């Protein structure tokens, strides 16, 4: 097993409940901690997996501070209740300002980050190179492919400097080649030493497991209305975290089957 210590708590879900005309989410409790490995300090990559209609989008909105739960709360850092704007949110359709060039959008994001004052352009150029977008900075979003839009969205959130990046279905709509690239890119973001915590909400079990260190399964329990965290899988313990080309390993395939059995 990869040696590591789970250190300070960065996000906590405390008894989150959401009810409309019926309970949608109930008793949601989990805690995300930073991880320290020898020579590396990094955020966690957590996936929330569940079948269609179970309540993933609702939980995504609550986590991002865009929707208040009926009861309970999400707190970040020193027990501060999360509010809209605390998290870098990447929606499924990679929403971008269509009337601005990629560079103009990125500059706007960089200017929101005080740590980048005076080095905005230089940082954009560095990320653009890393994310293979150098030749696309002067294009408009409609001139980009789905994968390129996704990379611009991720760059935007990284430039803003949010500690948390919340991604809604980051693998949907990408072709097989782009899927592998997206997995690689998110792994790269999580391993950068900027201590980002990535939270991925998805029904794509295979790709979520491939980049996460922890998986939470959202599902129903017999006789109880409303979805809750049915199971937590620690992928570090199973030696499945932070590994490239893991998808054909027996223990990876067994974990996928186990998750499918829980949904």
The least CB distance from residue 200 to ligand ATP, in Å, is: 13
- Size of residue set near ligand ATP by CB under 6 A: 11
* 3-state DSSP helix/strand/coil % of the chain, to nearest 5: 35, 30, 40
51, 56, 14: which is closest to 31 by C-alpha? 14
- What is the Rg, in whole angstroms, of the alpha carbon atoms belonging to the chain? 18
Q: For the window 47-76, what string marks contact with ligand ATP as x by the rule CB under 6 A?
A: ---x-xxxxxxx------------------
One character per residue 203-242, x = contact with ligand ATP (rule: CB under 6 A): x---------------------------------------
Question: Looking only at residues 171 through 210 of this chain, which bind ligand ATP when binding is defined by CB under 6 A?
Answer: 203
Cα–Cα distance measured from residue 231 to residue 262, given in angstroms and rounded to the nearest whole number: 8
Closest approach, Cβ 191 to ligand ATP, in A, equals: 28
Query: Is position 26 an interface residue for ligand ATP (rule: CB under 6 A)?
Result: no
Interface residue with ligand ATP among 16, 24, 35, 246 (CB under 6 A) is 24
Residue 54 Cβ, how far from ligand ATP at the closest point, in Å? Answer: 4
In the complex with ligand ATP, the residue whose CB is nearer, 35 or 48, is 48
Torsional sign, CA 69, 71, 75, 81: positive
State the Cα–Cα distance between residues 252 and 37, nearest whole angstrom. Answer: 22
Q: Please say which residue, 20 or 223, places its beta carbon nearer to ligand ATP.
A: 20
Beta-strand runs (E) in the chain: 5-19, 23-37, 40-42, 45-49, 71-76, 80-81, 87-90, 164-168, 197-202, 214-219, 228-234
């Amino acid at each position: 097993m990869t040696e590591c210590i789970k250190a300070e708590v960065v996000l906590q879900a405390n008894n989150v409940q959401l009810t409309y005309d019926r309970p949608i989410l109930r008793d949601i409790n989990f805690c995300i901690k930073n991880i320290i490995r020898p020579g590396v300090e990094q955020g966690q990559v957590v996936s929330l997996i569940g079948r269609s209609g179970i309540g993933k989008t609702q939980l995504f909105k609550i986590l991002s501070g865009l929707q208040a739960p009926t009861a309970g709360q999400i707190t970040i850092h020193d027990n501060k209740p999360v509010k809209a704007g605390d998290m870098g949110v990447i929606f499924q359709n990679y929403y971008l300002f269509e009337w601005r060039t990629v560079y103009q959008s990125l500059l706007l994001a960089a200017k929101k980050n005080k740590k980048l004052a005076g080095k905005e352009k230089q940082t954009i150029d560095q990320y653009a190179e890393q994310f293979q977008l150098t030749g696309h900075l002067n294009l408009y979003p409609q001139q980009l492919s789905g994968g390129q839009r996704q990379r611009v969205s991720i760059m935007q959130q990284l430039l803003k400097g949010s500690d948390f990046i919340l991604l809604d279905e980051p693998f949907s709509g990408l072709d097989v080649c782009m899927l592998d690239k997206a997995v690689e890119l998110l792994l790269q973001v999580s391993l950068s030493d900027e201590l980002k915590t990535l939270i991925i909400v998805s029904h794509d079990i295979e790709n979520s497991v491939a980049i996460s260190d922890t998986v939470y399964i959202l599902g129903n329990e017999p006789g109880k209305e409303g979805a809750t965290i049915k199971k937590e899988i620690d992928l570090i313990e199973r030696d499945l975290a932070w590994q490239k080309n893991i998808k054909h390993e027996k223990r990876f395939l067994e974990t996928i089957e186990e998750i499918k059995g829980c949904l």
